[in-house]
């Protein structure tokens, strides 16, 4: 078995795979991460969408306590009732309208929520519209089910990034089944206005499309109020909108792989079935951590947001002072997506920033059409580190 | 959002879903479980494929220790090196040939291993051959990717259950991409002989098919040696065989949702990509529990097998004494799959066993073609409980 790694047979095996599996792309961030990991110098890892804080102890303890209680048996596919109830309360508070436990379905990561929701709305030969630059996994997951991700580049101008409604509508074909929108956006920080949401919703209604709303970064919002504008603000219950979300960012739980779907209760049996035939649920003791996060995690979330806000101000001020650097100030999420006048090969610049600056960024090429001339920096970290990283970046750019 | 649960709009939403999602079947075991849970009397739950022991404390502790170390960040998509190394050692010991870490990929359950492997070998319009009766999830997961599960009923006779090679070969069409074989079998306990494995492998080679080998119950084997015969005994490294497995049964970790794929190392990048676009990996602290299970869990596995062997003898002796009961003695796994002369409606018998016997079994209808006239009892429990359950079943049958 093992030795065959060195034989020619491997190519034959890969060629015998299904096309969607064989053609699934490697993550474009990984190449730079691997380069950085091989580097001799210490590299500040700002390439991933992850902060520098471990999960708070009270959340960890809830999982450990569940383990000690022996919560190691099969559990509800839809999620444990306590967690679904907690999510209903959380959304009722945050969105000012009533939610019930039957609106919520626990998944083994936000990514799995996306995978399940994509399977719900699209199949082989269908098309899903995805404004870009964006986190690449939704497009790749669309490809895995044999559907086609149609990238709709956003416009970058004096107003920062904007959605081009006309371009979206022109891309709709009889095969189009859904619009996948990440707001606040990873990597640009662009955040849909209520008007953007109303307009795209009207378009979806007109053409019978689903909207998949990835509101992972809803809490990381630098405008008024405690969260970004949401389709929940503008939709009717019977609209074809499915929400995907995750515990990863708000509660520093990236490694836990736990997320949720928010959907109309009539879709519950279908979601349960798709969970059953993919991972069959999330460990009960892990879900206890989710309950603790939601019920006792607001102080931590507030700290995380305050920290991101400070780091955002630091990085935008430092890079904004460099005449060659261009970006739209992020309205939400915790990334700065910037280009540098006169630099075409951002992959090479990413390598230089590792070698000369000790800072690891993600190349914009990883984020689909319109991202090629950019780099993404994640600023969900200690503001002092971001200050140092900003200084290093500016120094490399000026050298 | 919530109130719409009571409106008519739900039907419209379901009708707007993709066909493979909409048509994914509900698990056939759940109906009986729900009936049992509503029952006024205490019901011994022998319907699920799960024992009565919680995960051993030393395994739980390894996860809790990982948590305390702050292993809550993103980790390797393929699994942490320690666990892949542990699995390589485990397989090298158990199968008497060398394995390397690059043969192993950690998944968020054995079910997810199946989902990923099915996506690797089949796509929309393809066919996958599945001998039945069998655990229904593989067929359902095949449907979710738009492929067709072609059930090949096994033969039940004086020799117990047997694979019908001719029937398998006759079912092969130009669309056939794989044979999915669970051995030892859930629910029948049938276990492929080396000759069965050689024969089906030859067939797969001849027709260019993949074999998906679900060897979840390899250790629960009541013949000679420490594990059941395996495709690993008869294959060459370059054969198109993919293995799915799980921590669930051996180490009483059903609720953890952790499994693995064993594959040729040349397939590593594809598997990494499919993990990336589904759950993006398994929590690092959970994987520590997997390492502990493999490195220190052999005594526990031996106890579990001894217990299952004793319970198997009890149930086969007790039901075998009833002239109306027919079954093939399970050679592996921990289920007895039996029919009752003169009883056609096994679903009704399952309800009666709950109401009159306080015993919850799974109806054979849940396990595909050829299972209709059967009930499945899981005997992975305290032998004394199995003795009581057997007596209750016999009493109901005789009443």
Are A277 and B112 an interchain contact pair (Cβ–Cβ within 8 Å)? no
A-contacting residues in B 307-336 (Cβ below 8 Å): none
Write the pLDDT tens digit of every residue in A75-97: 999 999 999 999 999 999 999 99
Backbone dihedral region for residue A315 (phi beyond 0: left; psi -120 to 50: alpha; all else: beta): alpha
What's residue A98's pLDDT? Answer: 97
Residue ranges in chain A whose pLDDT is less than 70? 1-9
Cβ neighbours of B284 in A, within 8 Å = 255
Residue numbers of B between 180 and 209 with CB closer than 8 Å to A: 208
Cis? peptide before A75, omega within 30° of 0: no
Question: In whole angstroms, what is the distance from residue A103 CA to residue A30 CA?
Answer: 35
Sketch out chain B's domains with CATH numbers.
11-54+299-398 (3.90.1150.10), 71-297 (3.40.640.10)
Are B70 and A64 in contact (CB < 8 Å)?
no
pLDDT for A1 equals 54
Is there a contact between A13 and B123 if contact means CB atoms under 8 Å apart? no
Binned at pLDDT 50, 70 and 90, residue B4 comes out as very low
Cα A180 from Cα A128, distance rounded (Å) = 7
Q: Which two tokens stand for residue B130?
A: 């599945």
- Can you give the pLDDT at residue A373? 95
**Could you give the ipTM of this predicted complex?**
0.95
Tokens standing for B360? 């919850």
Closest residue in chain B to residue A12, using alpha carbons only? B238
Cα(B167)–Cα(B188) distance, rounded to whole angstroms? Answer: 19
Is residue B30 predicted with pLDDT exceeding 80?
Answer: no
A94 to chain B, any CB pair closer than 8 A? The answer is no
Q: Cβ contacts (< 8 Å) between A274 and chain B: which residues?
A: 21, 24, 144
Which residues 55-84 of B are in CB contact (within 8 Å) with A? Answer: 55, 60, 63-64, 67-68, 70-75
For the segment B6-25, the average pLDDT, to the nearest whole number, is 84
B279, pLDDT greater than 50 = yes
Asked if the model's pLDDT at residue B6 lies above 50, the reply is no
Q: Rounded CA gap, B116 and A264, in Å? A: 28
Q: What is the reported pLDDT for A222?
A: 97
For residue B234, pLDDT beyond 80: yes
Question: Cβ of A14 and B267 within 8 Å?
Answer: yes
Picking from A117, A229, A80, A75, the residue whose alpha carbon sits closest to that of residue A163 is A229
Q: Contact B24/A273, CB-based, under 8 Å?
A: yes
Collapsing DSSP states into helix, strand and coil, what is residue A152? strand
- Which residues does A34 contact at the CB level (< 8 Å), separation at least 6? none
Residue B38 has pLDDT above 90, yes or no: no
Residue A277 burial (CB count, 10 A) = 29
First to last CA, chain A: 51
B9 to A145: CB separation less than 8 angstroms, yes or no: no
Full DSSP string of A319-338: HHTSTTEE-PPPSBSSEEEE
**Could you tell me if B212 and B134 are in contact, meaning their C-beta atoms sit under 8 angstroms apart?**
no
Check if the beta carbon of residue B207 is closer than 8 Å to that of residue B176: yes
Contact B140 A276 (CB under 8 A): yes
- Share the mean pLDDT of chain A: 95
What is the gyration radius of the CA atoms in chain B, in angstroms? 21
Q: Which residues of B192-217 are buried (b: 16+ CB within 10 A; e: fewer)?
A: bbeebbbbbbebbeeeebbbbbbbbb
At A399 the pLDDT is 86
Q: Which of A97, A103, A266 sits opposite B11 (nearest CB)?
A: A266
Helix axes A81-95, A284-296, angle to 10 degrees: 30
Chain B residues whose beta carbon lies within 8 Å of the beta carbon of residue A108 = 108, 112, 257, 279
Closest in A4, A70, A270 to B14, CB measured: A270
Interface test with A, best of B11, B14, B18, B94 (most A CBs within 10 A): B18
Return mean pLDDT, chain B.
95
């Amino acid at each position: 078995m093992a030795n065959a790694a060195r034989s020619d047979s491997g190519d034959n095996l890969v060629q015998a795979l299904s096309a969607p599996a064989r053609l699934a792309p490697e993550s474009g961030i990984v190449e730079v991460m691997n380069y950085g990991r091989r580097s001799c110098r210490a590299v500040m890892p700002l390439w991933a969408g992850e902060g520098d804080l471990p999960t708070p102890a009270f959340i960890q303890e809830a999982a450990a306590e569940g383990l000690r209680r022996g919560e190691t048996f099969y559990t509800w596919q839809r999620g444990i009732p306590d967690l679904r109830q907690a999510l209903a309360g959380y959304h009722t508070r945050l969105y000012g309208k009533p939610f019930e436990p039957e609106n919520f379905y626990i998944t083994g990561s936000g990514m799995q929520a996306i995978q399940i929701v994509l399977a719900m709305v699209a199949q082989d030969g269908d098309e899903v519209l995805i404004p870009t630059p964006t986190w690449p996994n939704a497009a790749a997951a669309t490809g895995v089910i044999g559907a086609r991700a149609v990238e709709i580049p956003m416009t970058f101008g004096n107003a920062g990034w904007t959605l081009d409604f006309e371009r979206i509508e022109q891309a709709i074909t009889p095969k189009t089944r859904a619009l996948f929108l990440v707001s606040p956006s990873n990597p640009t920080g662009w955040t849909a206005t209520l008007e953007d949401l109303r307009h795209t919703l009207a378009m979806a209604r007109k053409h019978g499309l689903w909207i998949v709303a990835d509101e992972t970064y809803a809490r990381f919002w630098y405008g008024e109020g405690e969260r970004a504008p949401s389709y929940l603000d503008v939709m009717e219950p019977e609209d074809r909108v499915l929400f995907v979300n995750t515990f990863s960012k708000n509660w520093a739980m990236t490694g836990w792989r736990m997320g949720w779907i928010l959907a109309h209760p009539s879709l519950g049996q279908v979601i349960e079935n798709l969970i059953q035939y993919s991972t069959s649920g999330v460990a009960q003791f892990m879900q206890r951590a989710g309950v603790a996060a939601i019920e006792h995690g607001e102080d931590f979330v507030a700290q995380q947001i305050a920290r991101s806000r400070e780091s955002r101000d630091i990085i935008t001020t430092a890079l904004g002072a460099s005449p060659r650097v261009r970006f739209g100030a992020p309205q939400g999420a915790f990334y700065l997506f910037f280009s540098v006048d006169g630099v075409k090969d951002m992959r090479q610049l990413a390598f230089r920033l590792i070698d000369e600056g000790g800072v690891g960024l993600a190349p914009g090429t990883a984020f689909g059409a319109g991202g090629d001339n950019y780099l993404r920096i994640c600023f969900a970290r200690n503001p002092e580190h971001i200050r140092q990283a900003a200084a290093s970046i500016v120094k490399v750019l000026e050298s």
